[in-house]
Amino acid sequence: MRVLFIKKRKYAKKIFSDYTHNSLINPEDDLPDPSLLAKFRTKRLKETSLDDIIKEVVRQCVEKGIIKSNNGIAIDTTHIEANTIKKVPERIMKQLAKNIFKAMGQEEYEIPDYTQIEDHGTAKQVMKDYLENLIEQTGDENSEEVNQAVQEAQEILESDLFIEQKGIRSLVDKDARVGHKSKTQNFYGYKAEICQTTDGSLITSVTVEPGSYVDGSNFKEHLEETRKSGLTVTGVYGDKAYFRPDILNLIKEKGASAYIPVSASAYKIDEELFSYNKDSDQWFCIMGNETVKVKSKIRERNGQKRKYLDYSFGRELCRNCPHRSECMGKSKRIAKLMTISVNTPELYEYSQRAKTPEFLEEYRKRAKIEPKNAELKRFHGLDRARGYGLRSIGIQAKLTALAVNLKRIAKLVSALKGLNSYFLRCSSCCLLIIRPAWIGSDVQTV
Ligand code: SF4
């Protein structure tokens, strides 16, 4: 297990000497003993997680009136490049074979040279066959070390994603994955999903996932963590990746408003041709024809059962309709049949709201999260992982968020006239203590 370890006395001394240079403290005051930091870390923090610290800092800000308790939250993800390069499966399989030979104590071996095979698919198959044979040859009675090397190779080979280059791409960092920045651009590493208040711009929760993470999958967790800070969430601001029925329903359930633009992939109704009447539960087409019946059905898609609604239009108007080809394409049916997801009628209502000037004005608050992402990456190194694995990158992202929050609190407090400076001094001290220490020479990873 990788943990961040601070060389206690040396680092503590540095922190406290830096602290004296801070203009907020009288240099003649007695400084805390260097052992205080170690005591704080080992005795006071105990099982406290970084999430708890983020929550507590936000909670105190709400309690002291530094930020409003009725607040909106903006949510977004940002990319973190892995601290290693991604390798092709052939190269990884070669390394796995080497590891097995090493564990067996065999120094001489011959592994196929996949670089001489032109076709990438053939090269993968050759290396896969070779590794599978090697695993078979090792037999059942092996040392613990050989068993571990064999098990690692078996686990990697078992995953279909591995051969498709969508799974493990490095033995050093097994959690990093390839993700997409756009249709043509991808990256290798992790995604940090960040939630911040729209008033005060304080980060309320952070999660880190492999690069293949689908934005919004942790939304429920973010919302719960934010609410635990004592905030009443009045609105949620996100880009169209968050336009999903589960997220919209959850926001509604919690009594908040969603300011998320409509995503064409989740909502596919052509509103120039069709409109929906909620009271009669009917769709109306451009010709004024209305649906005459609705039936629900279950379809299986990608192994999952989903509920759909079949709305049928009246036959007479459809039969000779001038918009027939535009509306029905090459369908041979007499009347139009709309097969839509059960959520579509509700999303239609939402889509209408998303066109109003009030919505568009309010949605501008989402943009506040962009400079925060830039700050985390440009000034605090969150553009690249410092360690390896999900746990390490999670610690890096959360410590960075804490440091950025404390900077922000110092700014908010200094802007508040007559507020006691004690909180500001504490914030500055904490900032020195928890600043991203992993980049310093006094920090080791063990
Ligand atoms: S084909 Fe039928 S449903 Fe489509 S526009 Fe014409 S009348 Fe309306």
Indicate the top mutation candidate among 285, 312, 325, 332 to test ligand 1's pocket, ranked by most ligand atoms within 8 A of CB.
285
Q: Does an H or E element contain 213, and which?
A: none
Dist. CA 321 → ligand 1 center (Å): 6
Among 223, 244, 220, 219, smallest CA distance to 233 is for 223
Nearest atom (ligand 1) to Cα of 327: 4
Please report the pLDDT score of residue 342 as a whole number: 79
Q: 1: pLDDT confidence band, cut at 50, 70 and 90?
A: very low
CA distance 294 to 283: 10
Dist. CA 92 → ligand 1 center (Å): 57
Q: What is the mean pLDDT of residues 413-425?
A: 64
Flag whether pLDDT at 423 surpasses 60: no
Query: E-assigned strands of 243-379?
Result: 257-259, 274-277, 282-285, 291-301, 304-313, 337-341
Q: Which one is predicted more confidently, 436 or 421? A: 421
Flag whether pLDDT at 8 surpasses 70: no
pLDDT digits (tens, 9 = 90+) for 366-403: 999 999 999 999 999 999 999 999 999 999 999 999 99
Q: 427: pLDDT confidence band, cut at 50, 70 and 90?
A: low
Lowest mean pLDDT among 20-24, 148-152, 357-361: 20-24
Nearest atom (ligand 1) to Cα of 324: 1
Judge if the beta carbon of residue 287 lies within 6 A of ligand 1.
yes
Dist. CA 283 → ligand 1 center (Å): 11
CA distance 34 to 442: 14
Contact predicate 308/299, CB 8 Å: yes
Judge if the beta carbon of residue 318 lies within 6 A of ligand 1.
yes
Which residue segments constitute the domains of the chain, with CATH numbers given?
Answer: 4-82+185-261+363-445 (3.30.420.10), 89-163 (no CATH), 274-343 (no CATH)
Dist. CA 288 → ligand 1 center (Å): 8
Nearest atom (ligand 1) to Cα of 288: 8
Please report the pLDDT score of residue 276 as a whole number: 86
Q: Which one is predicted more confidently, 415 or 29? A: 415
Please report the pLDDT score of residue 306 as a whole number: 80
Tokens standing for residue 15: 């922190």
Please report the pLDDT score of residue 28 as a whole number: 64
Lowest mean pLDDT among 23-37, 242-256, 323-337: 23-37
Amino acid identity of residue 253, one-letter, is E
CA distance 75 to 397: 15
Among 322, 373, 383, smallest CA distance to 83 is for 383
Judge if the beta carbon of residue 242 lies within 6 A of ligand 1.
no
pLDDT digits (tens, 9 = 90+) for 180-206: 887 788 899 999 999 999 999 999 999
Please report the pLDDT score of residue 7 as a whole number: 53
Flag whether pLDDT at 327 surpasses 80: yes
Indicate the top mutation candidate among 336, 339, 340 to test ligand 1's pocket, ranked by most ligand atoms within 8 A of CB.
336
pLDDT digits (tens, 9 = 90+) for 31-78: 667 677 677 767 766 667 899 999 999 999 999 999 999 999 999 999
Q: Does an H or E element contain 355, and which?
A: none
Tokens standing for residue 410: 């110092």
Amino acid identity of residue 230, one-letter, is G
Q: 12: pLDDT confidence band, cut at 50, 70 and 90?
A: low
Judge if the beta carbon of residue 64 lies within 6 A of ligand 1.
no
Among 167, 211, 218, 163, smallest CA distance to 187 is for 211
Judge if the beta carbon of residue 324 lies within 6 A of ligand 1.
yes
Please report the pLDDT score of residue 31 as a whole number: 66
Judge if the beta carbon of residue 328 lies within 6 A of ligand 1.
yes
Q: Which one is predicted more confidently, 47 or 437? A: 47
Indicate the top mutation candidate among 318, 319, 337, 340 to test ligand 1's pocket, ranked by most ligand atoms within 8 A of CB.
318
Please report the pLDDT score of residue 263 as a whole number: 81
Judge if the beta carbon of residue 285 lies within 6 A of ligand 1.
yes
Q: Which one is predicted more confidently, 13 or 247? A: 247
Judge if the beta carbon of residue 269 lies within 6 A of ligand 1.
no
Among 213, 160, 192, 212, smallest CA distance to 76 is for 192
Please report the pLDDT score of residue 363 as a whole number: 94
Q: What is the mean pLDDT of residues 348-364?
A: 91
CA distance 185 to 94: 28
Judge if the beta carbon of residue 337 lies within 6 A of ligand 1.
no
pLDDT digits (tens, 9 = 90+) for 222-280: 999 999 999 999 999 999 889 888 899 999 999 999 999 888 767 778 888 888 887 78
Contacts of 126 (CB under 8 A, 6+ apart): 90, 112, 114, 117
pTM of the predicted model as reported, rounded to 2 decimal places: 0.76
Flag whether pLDDT at 301 surpasses 90: no
Alpha carbon nearest to ligand 1 atom 7, residue: 318
Judge if the beta carbon of residue 289 lies within 6 A of ligand 1.
yes
Judge if the beta carbon of residue 402 lies within 6 A of ligand 1.
no
Dist. CA 316 → ligand 1 center (Å): 10
Dist. CA 79 → ligand 1 center (Å): 46
